[in-house]
Amino acid sequence: MIPQRNALASYLTMTTYITTPIYYVNALPHIGHAYTTIITDTYSRFRRLCGDDVRFQTGTDEHGEKIAQAAEKEGCSPREYADRISNAFRETWPLLDVAPDHFIRTTNPEHIKVVQALLQQVYERDDIYFAEYSGQYCKGCERFLTDKELIDGKCPDHLTVPDEVSEQNYFFRMSKYQDWLINHIKSNPDYITPERYRNEVLSFLSEPLEDLCISRPCSRLTWGIPLPFDENFVTYVWFDALINYLTGIGWPDGENFDKYWAVAEHVIAKDILKPHAIYWPTMIQAMGLPPYKKLHVHGYWNVDETKMSKSIGNVIRPGELVDEYGADTVRYFLLREMSFGRDASFSTQAIFDRRNADLANDLGNLFSRSLTMLAKYADSIVPELDKASVTEDDRLLVDALEKMVDEYRQCMDNFEFHRALQAVWEIIGMLNRFIVTNAPWELAKDAAQAGRLRTVLYFLADSLRLLALVLRPVMPTAAGRMAAALGVEEQLAKAVLADEGCWGKMQSGTVLNTGEALFPRLDKKTAQPAAPEKPAKAEKKKAKEAAAPTEEQDGLISFDYFGKVELRVAEIVAAEKIAKADKLLKLTVKAPEERTLVAGIAKHYRPEDLVGLKVIIVANLKPAKLMGITSQGMVLAAKEKDADGNERLVLSTVAADIAAGSRVA
């Protein structure tokens, strides 16, 4: 019999407090904000699946010059403006199936009280002092930049020349905590991850740290929290904003504060590394609190290899993507496409391809084929496994399933979401092949194979249960629909990965429901890719040149460029000659959907020899008409000429049997 194990028995449950940045209310949410918030939501759902007590917080950052200026431009008060944009963020998250436990706003009276109390505390400890300062002030960053940070005299993020500002202000003695911080980062290798950002911070800290200006005179800015010890100044927006992570759990003595502070993990992108990795830990230290546990730093989303920006007009709005593809596809795409820590590029082609290839073909087909066969051959009741008919290959599949759960767990824990999903999709591929190899439709024809048929069907039902379980943090709605169709909605809703994340937990006798297609295939003609705002042409070109690797250089193409060509395995199901075209054959192929191709191979192949052959096609070639027939792709073949100049052509095939439609990469 198949050895069963509790693969995750040693896995500890914990308490988790995880936060996103609080977003500025000077712009509407875009896919960058959506990415950070979706991964934080996915992680919090994953930790809940592991049995943790989880608190997930997001919110909006509403004070400061940027907001005051944006409100003035709109002709309304900063408060009205902040209310409007903060609401837009709050309303976006449910569209993406993001469910925070707390949404914080820095204009909340409780937050203002906490900021003032902490400022007073740090001031009384003599870690805040008053001084005159002259420096290079970047309005975009809302902070003074050091000479070292400037590139050609400009802020590297905003590409503007900072203003020379000289004024009296309050300063936080950040420099006093420099040695402590270096030591803390060095002795806690996981404090800042991935490692490249930890190294970046340590490199920055290898130079003397300056004190931090934490006030703005009211003569220049009034939209901020007044300093408790000097009413002529308001608090610098970063000193105010970072404290949200404490306010949201009830500092100083709320029950949640005791429970969650010691396990705080922050998720940010690389743009705000310095405030989170340097200002914040030193501020916490000056406040006499233990440091946060971890900082997870991800890269930036570009769009079509170009920096995303309002002025270029290529900003992608999550709401539009959800309208087009649905929340599950958007979540899956963002998690699968970006390798955490590195930059990634969004394109409508890429999300379209992932939807059709990974979700409609791989997962969707597996799910619908399995349910259809369970309905046809077992009356939609999970059959009893026939022990005598379990094969060595079945045992290997069980091993692979349990290994996948281990890998998934480890990768999710390490914020390697793309790798976790890769592991799951390898299993999906394996299960699709399991169906082809075992051909339940053939087993059903032979009464002597009734036991084997039950075993194969049980394997499919149980594997789908496992997939619904591990996909729940990533695609809550689709996974819920899978669980409902499998009749295990209640079983999975309360499930903990350590108990349910292994093979064989599907009860025989479970009644299955029929469900609609999980991910209907999108048709290129009807799919309306979320249209980015119209780019200003020249600016787009400039930004593209700056951000994108050139597609072709010295005859070499980039990996991304190659990735645009969709190669697939196609099974030839019919082939015929075309009248008056002695070089052409009309092929009908499955890849996995049926399509027609016109191929110039008639001189080399007879139609009857081609049926059943699996070839490789370019699946995303623009359709072309040949002899009145529309060819939807191209078959790949190798060509050579013999010594007499005669051409020989050999179709490219695959080395072993593999499902029609499989992607070639």
21 binds ligand ME8 (CB under 6 A): yes
Query: Smallest gap, in angstroms, from Cβ of residue 614 to ligand ME8?
Result: 40
Nearest residue to 316 via CA among 25, 28, 22: 28
Catalytic residue status for 50? no
197 binds ligand ME8 (CB under 6 A): no
Distances (CA, A) of 160 to 139, 166, 213, 270: 9, 18, 21, 19
Query: Smallest gap, in angstroms, from Cβ of residue 105 to ligand ME8?
Result: 12
What string of DSSP letters covers 194-248?
SHHHHHHHHHHHTSPPPPEE-EEETTT--SSPEETTEEEEEE-HHHHHHTHHHHT
The C-alpha atoms of residue 642 and residue 268 are separated, in whole angstroms, by 61
Distances (CA, A) of 657 to 423, 425, 437: 21, 18, 9
In single-letter form, the type of residue at position 600 comes to: G
269 binds ligand ME8 (CB under 6 A): yes
> What is the SS3 assignment for 382?
coil
Query: Smallest gap, in angstroms, from Cβ of residue 100 to ligand ME8?
Result: 14
Handedness of CA 30, 32, 34, 37 (dihedral sign): negative
32 binds ligand ME8 (CB under 6 A): yes
* Given 138, 213, 411, 502, the catalytic residue: 138
Among 16, 17, 33, 118, binds ligand ME8 (CB under 6 A): 33
Contacts with ligand ME8: how many residues (CB under 6 A)? Answer: 19
81 binds ligand ME8 (CB under 6 A): no
192 binds ligand ME8 (CB under 6 A): no
What does the angle CA 640 – CA 646 – CA 650 come to, to the nearest 5 degrees?
40
Piece of 144-152, 267-275, 287-295, 518-526 that binds ligand ME8 (CB under 6 A): 267-275
Instruction: Between 35 and 197, name the residue whose CB sits nearer to ligand ME8.
Output: 35
Query: Smallest gap, in angstroms, from Cβ of residue 495 to ligand ME8?
Result: 31
Query: Smallest gap, in angstroms, from Cβ of residue 85 to ligand ME8?
Result: 10
Burial label, 12 (beta-carbon count in 10 A; 0-12, 13-18, 19+): exposed
Query: Smallest gap, in angstroms, from Cβ of residue 242 to ligand ME8?
Result: 5
Helix axes 392-413, 31-49, angle to 10 degrees: 120
> What is the SS3 assignment for 588?
strand
In 261-346, where does DSSP find H-type helix?
273-274, 280-286, 318-325, 327-337
The C-alpha atoms of residue 314 and residue 32 are separated, in whole angstroms, by 12
456 binds ligand ME8 (CB under 6 A): no
> What is the SS3 assignment for 291?
coil
Tell me which residue has tokens 């109390």. Answer: 117
Catalytic residue status for 158? yes
* Given 158, 534, 537, 577, the catalytic residue: 158
Instruction: Between 283 and 497, name the residue whose CB sits nearer to ligand ME8.
Output: 283
Piece of 269-277, 413-421, 609-617, 621-629 that binds ligand ME8 (CB under 6 A): 269-277
Catalytic residue status for 33? yes
SS in 3 state form for 397-431? HHHHHHHHHHHHHHHHHCCCHHHHHHHHHHHHHHH
Among 61, 304, 402, 462, binds ligand ME8 (CB under 6 A): 61
268 binds ligand ME8 (CB under 6 A): yes
40 binds ligand ME8 (CB under 6 A): no
171 binds ligand ME8 (CB under 6 A): no
Piece of 263-271, 360-368, 466-474, 632-640 that binds ligand ME8 (CB under 6 A): 263-271
The C-alpha atoms of residue 217 and residue 469 are separated, in whole angstroms, by 54
Backbone angles phi, psi at 496, to 5 degrees: -115, 140
* Given 73, 186, 310, 583, the catalytic residue: 310
In 291-413, where does DSSP find H-type helix?
318-325, 327-337, 348-354, 365-378, 392-413
Instruction: Between 21 and 364, name the residue whose CB sits nearer to ligand ME8.
Output: 21
Q: What is the dihedral of CA 76, 77, 79, 81, to 10 degrees?
A: 20
Question: Residue number with the shortest CB distance to ligand ME8?
Answer: 32
Nearest residue to 511 via CA among 486, 479, 481, 483: 486
Query: Smallest gap, in angstroms, from Cβ of residue 341 to ligand ME8?
Result: 12
Query: Smallest gap, in angstroms, from Cβ of residue 430 to ligand ME8?
Result: 33
Distances (CA, A) of 370 to 212, 408, 450, 504: 61, 23, 17, 17
Instruction: Between 269 and 400, name the residue whose CB sits nearer to ligand ME8.
Output: 269
**Structure tokens that stand for 606 in this block:** 């007879």
Among 43, 260, 301, 417, binds ligand ME8 (CB under 6 A): 301
Instruction: Between 308 and 587, name the residue whose CB sits nearer to ligand ME8.
Output: 308
Piece of 264-272, 414-422, 498-506, 575-583 that binds ligand ME8 (CB under 6 A): 264-272
Q: In this structure, are residues 641 and 606 in contact, taking their beta carbons and an 8 Å threshold? A: no
22 binds ligand ME8 (CB under 6 A): yes
36 binds ligand ME8 (CB under 6 A): yes
Among 35, 191, 223, 415, binds ligand ME8 (CB under 6 A): 35
Among 272, 456, 460, 597, binds ligand ME8 (CB under 6 A): 272
Catalytic residue status for 502? no
The C-alpha atoms of residue 55 and residue 242 are separated, in whole angstroms, by 17
- Beta strand pairing call for 624-626 and 581-590: unpaired
Query: Smallest gap, in angstroms, from Cβ of residue 360 to ligand ME8?
Result: 27
* Given 141, 213, 411, 502, the catalytic residue: 141
Catalytic residue status for 411? no
The C-alpha atoms of residue 278 and residue 174 are separated, in whole angstroms, by 9
Name 503's Cβ contacts closer than 8 Å, sequence gap at least 6.
2, 4, 398, 401, 402, 462, 466
Binding mask 219-258 for ligand ME8 (x = CB under 6 A): ----------------------xx-x--------------
The C-alpha atoms of residue 595 and residue 354 are separated, in whole angstroms, by 20
Q: In this structure, are residues 212 and 171 in contact, taking their beta carbons and an 8 Å threshold? A: yes
Among 23, 144, 177, 292, binds ligand ME8 (CB under 6 A): 23
* Given 66, 111, 296, 307, the catalytic residue: 307
The C-alpha atoms of residue 491 and residue 104 are separated, in whole angstroms, by 34
321 binds ligand ME8 (CB under 6 A): no
Q: In this structure, are residues 397 and 429 in contact, taking their beta carbons and an 8 Å threshold? A: no
Binding mask 113-142 for ligand ME8 (x = CB under 6 A): ------------------------------
Instruction: Between 318 and 661, name the residue whose CB sits nearer to ligand ME8.
Output: 318
Instruction: Between 340 and 503, name the residue whose CB sits nearer to ligand ME8.
Output: 340
Eight-state DSSP code of residue 390: -
Instruction: Between 242 and 453, name the residue whose CB sits nearer to ligand ME8.
Output: 242
Among 83, 271, 399, 406, binds ligand ME8 (CB under 6 A): 271
Instruction: Between 308 and 530, name the residue whose CB sits nearer to ligand ME8.
Output: 308
Catalytic residue status for 213? no
The residues of the shown chain that bind ligand ME8, judged by CB under 6 A, are 21-24, 32-33, 35-36, 61, 241-242, 244, 268-269, 271-272, 300-301, 308
The residues assigned a catalytic role are: 30, 33, 138, 141, 155, 158, 307, 310
